[in-house]
Amino acid sequence: MGAVFGDNDIRKFDASGALSAQFDVLAEVSGSDWIDLAADQCTMFYTSEGKSIKRFDVCTNTQLTDFASIGFFSAAYALRILSDGGVLVASTQAILRFDALGNVVQNYDADLQNQWFALALDPDGTSFWAGDSRSGNFYKFDIATGAQVLPTPVSTGAALGGLAVFGELRPPPDASSPLILKRGKLRLDRHPHKDELFLKGSFVADPASIDPPTQGVTVTLTEGGSQIVEINIPAGRGWTTRRGPRWSFDRRAVELSIKYNAKKRLFELEVEIERAEFLMDPKAGSPSTSVIIGDQEFVNTQKWRSTSGGKKLVTP
């Protein structure tokens, strides 16, 4: 939930309505006015009735660089993220469409409408609805052609402050969900099979959707498409299951723990691997980490930094 007045923060509530997180986002003119969460379930796009489409990472609690500027248009209001990563935003004098890189690729308008304020996607996946707050009219546009789908606008007969469409399409979550690392360490050793890996982090998944003892777990580090190390923890023997749920594996220099934190509604992960053999020496900044459980992949791309004269890489 965004906030126009007061502290301007974006708030997260759980399914029971209890406040579970609060994010101190950077405001421009009027708080966190309109918000939309990207398919990665981490990047929150929002407007502040200024010139920018802003972004905030709700997984790492980090302010990100602005996605785009609306240029000479007066102010940015309602926005929606498209399935291709682009964005539609009501920008007072017109509705602008940006591609995934933040470039304006199209604009939409109707005669005598100069206070575009609200918009929502249509369930057909090819069109959207937008309304003018001053005239009270709203229109349906074809996303690809920019043409008005309806022959005449729909008039509310009153000032228009928002717009909702039943069955509105939202971007589906990425097939690869984020893995947030609270701590990561790679120790490189000049002797064979003496490298070490330690990871401590969290990821979000339906508690009923994973079962490591029957699905197995694969931990992989890559760099530029090349594999640094892959550890396959098989299903079956070696696993212990406790209430929570909580699973642990301890065998042959591999220790792994996955525990569901019901209060935070996420899984907490710890991996410790000794006597590993990295296929290549990773470089600071670039390694990508993934944990695969069944058909779900949880990916981390945080930057790593070098310590101990290049013998260790750590994150964050």
> Is 309 strand, coil or helix?
helix
Alpha helices in the chain (DSSP H): 212-215
Give the lowest-confidence range in 29-38, 64-73, 218-227.
218-227
The predicted structure's pLDDT at residue 172: 59
Instruction: Report percent pLDDT > 90 for the chain.
Output: 47
pLDDT tens-digit readout, 58-104: 988 899 999 999 999 989 999 999 887 899 999 999 999 999 889 99
- Strands 312-315, 305-307: pairing is antiparallel
The answer to whether the predicted template modeling score (pTM) of the entire model surpasses 0.75 is no
Give me the DSSP letters along 252-297. TTEEEEEEEETTTTEEEEEEEEEEE--SS---TT--EEEEEETTEE
pLDDT tens-digit readout, 280-300: 666 655 678 999 998 888 988
Instruction: Report percent pLDDT > 70 for the chain.
Output: 93
CB 187 within 8 A of CB 273: no
> Residue 191's pLDDT band (boundaries 50, 70, 90)?
confident
Q: For residues 219 and 227, give the distance between their C-alpha atoms in angstroms, rounded to a whole number.
A: 11
* Domains, in order of start, for the chain: 10-155 (2.130.10.10), 176-315 (no CATH)
